[in-house]
Amino acid sequence: MHIDILTLFPEMFEQVFATSIIKRAVAKGRVCLNVHNIRDYSTAKHKQADDYPYGGGSGMVMMVEPIDRCITMLQEKRPYDDIVLMTPDGVPFSQMQANKFATKQNLILLCGHYKGIDERVRKLFVSKEISIGDYVLSGGELPAMVFCDAVIRLLPGVLNDETSALSDSFQNGLLSAPVYTRPADYKGTKVPDILLSGNDKAIDQWRQEQSYERTKKKRPDLLK
């Protein structure tokens, strides 16, 4: 997979992409991540990438031209399956969407900032709009990191045990069952006997029941 990220603050991604699962995915060649500074594509003297909104009002708006120049340059190199705008008014991100994006080959992630992006960017380039929640952040950089982490961990060969992702919360529409590790008895709180039984069929049944009960208690909305 190839992911290009367009942002005004490329330094925000350095530590995240050099850590844990994403670092491993890059090292294994499962994903290629490139972060592009939108200001580098500005033709203004001082590399300006934002301006005052037409019609007045507070805040600044990211300009269409630098974004156009960057996307056009990237599209000359390869075809992209989707150009994704990270925006609070986008479609709520979900595990099912992460699964679908994990099947793509080439993606562009566009990080908004300030008051927003010139609307013409959406009309000319954007094919998907994604939100990570009903709240407003300073920019789309953190949502882009969340998007990358959720999608990249699903790529073949990234996790040491690929079946692990299949039992994650939301994969089957339910929350995952409780998990335990050693010691079997900690301060009088014991691991359920069924998990120590060695009976795989019974353990699977227990996990399914626990998954349903946990979802019913914590996220009944998912059962609808």
Q: What are 166-180's pLDDT values in tens digits? A: 556 667 789 999 999
Mean pLDDT of 212-221: 94
Question: E strands, the chain, where?
Answer: 2-7, 32-37, 50-51, 61-62, 82-92, 106-111, 116-117, 128-131, 185-186, 189-190
CATH architecture of the domain with residue range 169-223: Orthogonal Bundle (1.10)
Q: What are 106-127's pLDDT values in tens digits? A: 999 999 998 899 999 999 999 9
Residue spans of the domains in the chain: they are 2-152, 169-223
**101 has pLDDT over 70:** yes
Fold held by 2-152: Alpha/beta knot (3.40.1280)
Burial readout 74-104 (b: 16 or more C-beta within 10 A, e: otherwise) = beeeeebbbbbbbbbebeebebebbeebbee
